[in-house]
Chain A
Amino acid sequence: MSDVEPKAEPISSDSRDANHWAKAVSRLNVSNVPEGAINLNVTGRRLAGPVQGFGKMWQKTYRVSLPSEQVSASKLISTWKQHFPDFWPKGNSFYAPLTGIEPGEVALLNMTLPGRMKLSTGVMVLYTDDESFTLMTPQGHMFAGWITFSATERAGTTVAQAQVLMRASDPIFELGLTLGGHRQEDKFWAQTLTAVATHFGQTVEVDTQVVCVDKRRQWSRWGNIWHSSAIRSTGYMMGAPFRSMGKLFRR
């Protein structure tokens, strides 16, 4: 699946990390949509980081420790990249790019929210190296921010970590996160890290740290609601019977 509209000027290659970062993009583009995925809230959207979000800013860190003799940091990250969709909790789908987790690639997501609400969104691979990779969200995602997956070796253990730096994208998502969404998200990443540990034959506790980096909401960003993937996904679901009827009449 590809992905982005690169700007005319490529990133200069004189930096050590030039190949680790995605190329600059103005808007996302998904050319091949896998079966089952819905490209409703990704193509044409801009990326949105914590600066562009609405709600309070949170840094959430989820960690598991595995024996180093079982898996090195680089092996853990290469495995995590390769099997990323398999580690996601059931009921949620990550449609990985055909080329895998590579800088600039875009993945579509189908998420199940509380109340069995389905949400279609996506992420772009912002950065990758041997011991980490980062995904960044598009406008309209539940939150504006990035998620960094990393592994480090220390004192005989390999620590696998998922760290989310985020603000809820708009007032509706902020309300949703406050009313149980944060708990749901903590559970989501804890299950993901448990699945990573299980892959390496380990049963371990997930250490969770949640820090509110900024208690202020960015009210100037309330208009992000225009791009809300929740509203657009709900509209899409509600329109399904009419689309089916339309197909029947066209036959």
Chain B
Amino acid sequence: MTEATATFDTRRLGPAAVVDIKGDVTSGSEDVLMSAYEGVGDARAVILNFSELSYMNSGGIGLLVTLLVRANRHSQKLMAYGLSDHYQQIFELTRLDEAVSIYASEQAALDAAGAK
């Protein structure tokens, strides 16, 4: 549970930053996720791309809550897209969907973030 088995690559698209998540997100991903978050700078919105997520346990969900706190502290919106039906249900179950807006595509998330 402690080894990082995911990568988080950041892309800046206007006022938004997209974080591409690949692999397994667990509590062991904390350092790499937070390091990726440092890379989003002053983006108004942080968009998490889950299209290539292969696995996430409860430790991974906990990390997203911590990320949410950081984003709120910097007045940044936290958004997500690319979630499978399974992970959308996990977001609903944990009620994370009440704080992280979920979109069907990157374009939809960018539009909501005000990026052209």
Q: Which residues of chain A have a CB within 8 Å of any CB of chain B?
A: 9, 11-12, 14-18, 20-25, 46-52, 57, 59, 126-127, 129, 131-132, 134, 136, 146, 148, 150, 152, 154, 163, 165, 213-214
Contacts and interface: CB of A to CB of B under 8 A. Distances in A.
Given A16-B55, A21-B90, A148 B69 contact: no
Contacts of A17: 55-57, 86
B51 to A, nearest CB: 14
A154 B2 CA distance: 10
Contact of B93 (A9, A15, A126, A152): A126
Contacts of B84: 12, 14-15
A14 B86 contact: yes
Contacts of B68: 51
B96 interface: yes
Interface residues of B, number: 29
Nearest to B96: A51
28 contacts: A9-B85, A9-B89, A11-B85, A11-B86, A15-B55, A16-B54, A16-B55, A17-B55, A21-B90, A22-B93, A24-B92, A47-B94, A48-B95, A49-B65, A49-B96, A51-B96, A51-B98, A126-B93, A126-B94, A129-B57, A132-B59, A134-B58, A146-B94, A148-B62, A152-B1, A165-B65, A165-B66, A213-B66
B61 to A, nearest CB: 8
Contact of B59 (A25, A47, A57, A150): A150
A24 B66 contact: no
B104 interface: no
Of B65, B69, B99, chain A has the most CB atoms within 10 Å of the CB of B65
B95 A18 contact: no
B69 A214 contact: yes
B30 to A, nearest CB: 11
A129 B57 CA distance: 9
A57 B62 CA distance: 12
Given A49-B96, A52-B95, A148 B59 contact: yes
B87 A165 contact: no
Contacts of A47: 93-95
B89 A132 contact: no
B2 A152 contact: yes
Contacts of A46: 95
A102 B69 CA distance: 30
Contacts of B54: 16
Given A17-B55, A21-B93, 13 more contacts: A12-B84, A23-B93, A25-B93, A50-B65, A59-B66, A127-B58, A132-B1, A148-B27, A152-B1, A152-B2, A213-B66, A214-B69, A214-B72
Interface in B68-116: 68-69, 72-73, 84-87, 89-90, 92-96, 98-99
Nearest to B26: A132
Contacts of B89: 9, 11, 23-24
Interface in B2-60: 2, 27, 54-59
Contact of B62 (A23, A146, A152, A214): A146
B95 to A, nearest CB: 5
Nearest to B66: A213
Contacts of B66: 59, 165, 213
